[in-house]
Amino acid sequence: MAKPTPTKEDQPFVYQLGQDVAKLGFEIEKLKNKAVKAVRIVVPAKPEKYQQHGLKAVINLPPECQNAICIKSKNGEISLIETKETLSVYAEYNVNEFYLAPIYRLEADTITAALDQQQINDIDAAQEREERERKERQEREERERKERQEREEREKGVYKYLAKWLTDNYLEGIRAKAVNRIFENNGIKVYVNKNGLQDLLDRPFERNSHLSDATLDESSYTDAKSAMLAEKARIDRGEVDLSVATDFNVVNYHYIDDML
């Protein structure tokens, strides 16, 4: 199959490609013909009396192998080593040898690299932003915690006040209206709701039982609930001193689910 003839547009590219290939071939030929002188080093065997010891042999290296990165070739195994003026190896039970060829000397002009200042600036800015955001987050969380704690404390205060207010003004009357000797003989009585402010606002009074028959009829405390909500409105307007209920203890009754 005939090779396609390059167009005029392709000719500069083809020409440059040919030049690059030719140059690469020339460089390869130079490397193939460049010889590096190796040193053959013979290490004597350890004397009989030192066979149980790790005895080292010290090699005084020629100048071209001193303070250099060298190729070490021994028994077909190749490794790289960094040398000083001398090289120490462990002597073996028998005479052994290896070859050492320098690659380059560790002598050169020193250039100190400069850290990327723009990257440093970006990192510093990012760290400052993260620290600022961390502090803002901590302050916001602390502020929210305090606000939540204040709300909870106020809610407890409101609850205790209303529970005391209901106990003082309505509890005995509600008990009288909802009297049931069977329930009461089994320890089931009417109490001011002990389960916190929201439950109190929904259901100011309840019997201490989950039995369906013991459920307190809402009609028995409708007036009390309306009055309580009116008192809650006064609290919200700041017209009530909640501290009057500080020492009041809500009855912590137990629920009864079975009657004897």
User: What value does the mean pLDDT take over residues 221-250?
Assistant: 95
Q: List C-alpha distances in Å: 233 to 104, 137, 170, 243.
A: 91, 35, 18, 17
Amino acid at 112: T
Does the pLDDT at position 130 exceed 90?
yes
8 A C-beta contact, residue 56 and residue 91: yes
Contact criterion met (CB below 8 Å) for 186 and 221: no
Inter-helix orientation angle 222-236/117-169, to 10°: 140
Q: Which residue has the higher pLDDT, 223 or 30?
A: 223
**Measuring CA to CA, which residue among 228, 230, 182 is closest to residue 205?**
228
Structure-token pair, residue 211:
């039995």
Query: Is there a contact between 234 and 240 (Cβ–Cβ < 8 Å)?
Result: yes
pLDDT digits (tens, 9 = 90+) for 91-123: 999 999 999 999 888 777 777 788 889 999 999
For the purposes of burial, counting CB atoms within 10 Å of the CB of 242, is it exposed (0-12), middle (13-18) or buried (19 or more)?
A: middle
CA 87 vs. chain centroid, Å, equals: 49
* The one-letter amino acid at 162: L
Per residue in 15-29, pLDDT (tens digit) is 665 666 556 555 545
Give residue 62's pLDDT band: very low, low, confident or very high (50, 70, 90).
very high
Percent of the chain scoring above 90 in pLDDT: 73
pLDDT at 180: 92
The beta-carbon contacts of 235-242 under 8 Å, at least 24 apart in sequence, are: 235/158, 235/161, 235/162, 240/161, 242/154, 242/157, 242/158, 242/160, 242/161
pLDDT of residue 111: 72
Residue type, 204: P
DSSP calls for 76-133:
TEEEEEE--SEEEEE--SS-EEEEEEEEEES-----PPPP-HHHHHHHHHHHHHHHHH
Give the span between the Cα atoms of 12 and 9, in whole angstroms.
7
Please check whether residue 200 is in contact with residue 192, taking contact to mean a CB–CB distance below 8 angstroms. yes
